[in-house]
Amino acid sequence: MDAILEMRGITKTFPGVKALDNVSLKVKRGEIHALVGENGAGKSTLMKVLSGVYPHGSYEGDIVYDGEVQKFRGIADSEGGGIIIIHQELALVPLLSIAENIFLGNEIHRAGSIDWPATYARADELLRKVGLKEPSSTLITNIGVGKQQLVEIAKALSKRVKLLILDEPTASLQENDSQKLLDLLLEFKGQGITSILISHKLNEVSRVADSITVLRDGAAVSSLDCHAEAIDEARIIKDMVGRDMAHRYPERTPQVDGVLMEVFDWTAHHPQHPDRQVVKGVNMTVRRGEVVGIAGLMGSGRTELAMSLFGRSYGQNISGRVKMNGEDVDVSSVGRVVEAGIAYVTEDRKALGLVLDETLAKNISLSNLEQVSSHGIIDESAERKVALDFRDALNIRTPNVFQKVGNLSGGNQQKVVLSKWLFAGPQVLILDEPTRGIDVGAKFEIYTIINQLAAEGKGVVMISSEMPELLGMCDRIYVMNEGEFVGELSAAEASQEKIMSMIVRGKQP
Amino acid sequence: MTTLSSEIAETQKTHVSVGDYLKHHIRDYGMLVALVVIMAFFQIWTDGVLMKPLNLTNLFLQNSYIIIMALGMLLVIVCGHIDLSVGSVVGFIGALAAVMMVSYDLPVIVTVPVCLLAGALIGAAQGYWIAYWRIPSFVVTLAGMLVFRGLTLALLEGQSIGPFPKSFQALSSGFIPDPFGLDFKLLSLLLGVGVGAGMIIFGLRARAKQARFSHLDEPLSFFLAKNGIIAAAIIYITYLLATYNGLPNVLITMAVLISAYTFFTNKSVPGRRIYAIGGNEKAAKLSGIKTERLTFLTFANMGMLAALAGLIFAARLNTATPKAGVAFELDVIAAVFIGGASMSGGVGKIIGAVIGAFIMGVMNNGMSIMGVGIDWQQVIKGLVLLAAVIFDVYNKTKGEN
């Protein structure tokens, strides 16, 4: 097999930083090539160089594609050559239809007048290819993230793609949607389309990849052929983080004490459709020093349960009772629920957790300004000290606490959101997808922090789509499906198979 | 003096050069430099008329109401909204005051508080729909703009009402009394010297406090030069004013309000929360901030400041006219954006808005003295607004790459 793409000695510098240092990447025609590395390792930068976002001349080195040295000046150039990138943040227009999105900027027209019948027919055909069962006239806003991902791929196919690049395609997908997507990649491979898959998830990578390149700190540290040698996940992780990681989950001896939080018969309805129950009569117990997991598919009501509990931040007609330390508490507003000792760390840190334009210090103090102020006047030195303490305690990598959080990496941003809620001094922390979109090293650090919190006697509720993470971290796991808890498993009895079968079979009578 | 020497040591330890510092803070000083350049330009082209004590006094009187409203508008814009109704509220409150004092012969001491309260209620009435019903502020205040312009006409029955009692006029055209009885208003100068010295002393204390937490990015030489120049400018301006009638009352009002709102935005808990709402409303709400209530209060505050501006404007003209305050909202909003606030909320400084208002004011004044027609004045002001925002965006994108 010849190489469809060869990037030779790519070096890209930004003022003060060498983002890529003499990186070479060779992708064979018709293979699935995985690009792995921690956040900030240079994966996205490398792909931006390839696609012409950073035009020829702004980097050193050569791009050889389809046997010729290419000088892409912009995305239009690279797309013209059949290189299509699907970014992690999907670029679809919510209020346009699937078909309109697929052909956006590439409309089927006759003399400037759009040929709608052809557009919809062609779109339906593309949707069949990617296995999406939706009419192409459906608006993007009415389909889930998993389906949107497929629309992006259909869009790529419409442009006669030769080299498809997927940047963390499964980061926001459910297990089964991820599987479907990966199957699709394998199908494309059969049709001769080459793919580059950027991912953090090693289990996915080892399932589909033909070869793997590991990037670390802007350099390609290793590459391996999956057919020539067995994939050694431990070695890949070691290459990614630059150190040995004996265990993916830190050791912990649980010291579970009395009951801390109890939730009785918690029910919430959809904010727009009052007759739809999104959370149905959930009962939950959290003990001191315990890490409790909530497993379930996306859309099963996990986030809705957490947010409706957290000061009715989601839904309407919410009913149910919450007890802390055996006493009823008022959870009717965010202020009250925080006072009761409950904190919620959102799954969407950028949209719901942080003020990206503000500094670390201001973000951390936001949920508990009272503690760094007197008579309504903020004591900035006290605020600074709090921020410095959290920076050191949680190992947030930043030169100073006056850095805008928008400039930090995902893992460090997550630590800032955690700091913010730790500063509010809760007894129970509900962590919604605490490791989404952050790299292996940072994940380990977050796990360590969770264990520390449990060791301090706090109760931790962990919502996650990654089952291995729940199995590795939790003392007890609730399984949620379609708004209700369908089962409960102790750490000893839990396994991925058991959780899945509970979800699939639904509530047992 | 121990603080000063430890301070120098601290600065040497961190060692940031003046050039580096300026590069990172070009946004903070760019507009101040622009103001100084614009003033110098007009000082030369008007043969020194601009800085004549009489003209300087007029400059403050003419711009006081814009600056006062810019303080409230900054909060509204930082909160992620806009208020188009303030010009009409200026007219309406002027009319209300005129009707109360002239037609009903009510005393000034009753009229002023009632008018301020009326302004706050007007702001609250608009803020209610914006905050609790989530109706876009653009629409609500556009409606308010029409409603209160109409009510102004209705109250005045299309006529101008005036003149006002002396004590009311003093709101705008009065000067602070001078106990020394000289031609030269010594008290005014002393106040200026006091403010200048206070600024340097407080600045040094704040620096010493910052240094303890090893966050001292402003070089000492730069700090001294900056504060020295600003203090000297304040003293010089008060000196000039002292050779005429002394400090106008409205300048004192303005200075007090500017300090109060600067403090509010920088140091107070609600001030900080308003920035958080503008920066990310959902995150603010999930952090336990009562976003609706704060938005509502921000508009009530804007209404009250617009009422104060309305009173000062009416006092200055000594009559309430149906046309009072027409297009003021545009000057106020322009001042805030020239001062570096972001349309999307969360970013902006009081001092920036004040400088923005002065840039507009000096240009109005200077061009009028030079005899530039009102037509070209508008064109030039429009271009300056555009240039200021382009400068902002350019700096921001440059910073990101």
- The C-alpha atoms of residue B317 and residue A502 are separated, in whole angstroms, by 79
Residue of A nearest to B396 (CA): A357
> Do A354 and B283 lie within an 8 Å CB cutoff?
yes
Share the mean pLDDT of chain A. Answer: 87
Q: Which of the residues A337, A338, A346, A357 would you substitute to probe the B interface, choosing the one with the greatest number of B C-beta atoms within 10 Å?
A: A357
| Chain A / chain B CB contacts < 8 angstroms | 84
pLDDT at residue B9, rounded to an integer: 39
pLDDT at residue A181, rounded to an integer: 87
pLDDT band at B214 (very low <50, low <70, confident <90, very high): low
Per CATH, the architecture of A3-241 is what? 3-Layer(aba) Sandwich (3.40)
pLDDT at residue B11, rounded to an integer: 39
Q: Does domain A258-341+426-509 sit in CATH 3.40.50.300? A: yes
Which chain B residues are closer than 8 Å to A346 by Cβ? 286
> Do B269 and A380 lie within an 8 Å CB cutoff?
no
- Match 């070869």 to its residue by tokens: A211
Contact indicator for A43, A37 with CB cutoff of 8 Å: yes
Asked whether the domain spanning A258-341+426-509 has the same topology as the one spanning A3-241, the reply is yes
- The C-alpha atoms of residue A439 and residue A241 are separated, in whole angstroms, by 9
> Do B269 and A378 lie within an 8 Å CB cutoff?
yes
The residues of B whose Cβ lies within 8 A of any Cβ of A are 209-210, 212-213, 215, 267-270, 272-273, 275-276, 279-280, 282-290, 346-347, 401
pLDDT band at A439 (very low <50, low <70, confident <90, very high): confident
Q: Tell whether the model's pLDDT for residue A295 goes beyond 70.
A: yes
A252-278 pLDDT tens trace? 888 888 899 999 999 999 888 888 888
CA distance A349 to chain B (A): 9
Most confident of A61-70, A204-213, A396-405, B306-315: B306-315
Between the two ends of chain A, the Cα-to-Cα distance in Å is 56
pLDDT at residue B216, rounded to an integer: 63
pLDDT at residue A336, rounded to an integer: 93
pLDDT band at A17 (very low <50, low <70, confident <90, very high): low
Smallest Cβ distance to A362: which of B212, B272, B290? B272
Give the bridge partners for A277, in sequence order.
A269
The residues spanned by each domain of chain A are 3-241, 258-341+426-509
> Do B213 and A381 lie within an 8 Å CB cutoff?
yes
Question: Which carries the bigger pLDDT value, residue B42 or residue B218?
Answer: B42
What ipTM goes with this model?
A: 0.83
B2-37 pLDDT tens trace? 344 343 333 334 456 777 777 667 767 788 888 999
B52-92 pLDDT tens trace? 999 999 999 999 999 999 999 999 999 999 999 999 999 99
Smallest Cβ distance to B215: which of A334, A355, A384? A384
Share the mean pLDDT of chain B. Answer: 89
Q: Tell whether the model's pLDDT for residue A431 goes beyond 50.
A: yes
Q: Tell whether the model's pLDDT for residue B262 goes beyond 90.
A: yes
CA distance A199 to chain B (A): 25
Contact indicator for B204, B216 with CB cutoff of 8 Å: no
Q: Which of the residues B14, B280, B291, B293 would you substitute to probe the A interface, choosing the one with the greatest number of A C-beta atoms within 10 Å?
A: B280
Smallest Cβ distance to A384: which of B213, B279, B288? B213
pLDDT at residue B15, rounded to an integer: 52
CA distance B234 to chain A (A): 28
Smallest Cβ distance to B267: which of A15, A377, A424? A377
Q: Tell whether the model's pLDDT for residue A491 goes beyond 50.
A: yes
Q: Tell whether the model's pLDDT for residue A509 goes beyond 60.
A: no
> Do B269 and A366 lie within an 8 Å CB cutoff?
no
pLDDT band at A80 (very low <50, low <70, confident <90, very high): confident
pLDDT band at A220 (very low <50, low <70, confident <90, very high): confident
B144-181 pLDDT tens trace? 999 999 999 999 998 999 899 999 999 888 898 888 87
Give the contacts of B42 (CB within 8 A, at least 6 positions apart). Answer: B50, B362, B363, B365, B366, B367, B369, B370
CA distance A268 to chain B (A): 18
> Do A381 and B212 lie within an 8 Å CB cutoff?
yes
High-pLDDT (> 90) share of chain A, %: 43
CA distance B24 to chain A (A): 13
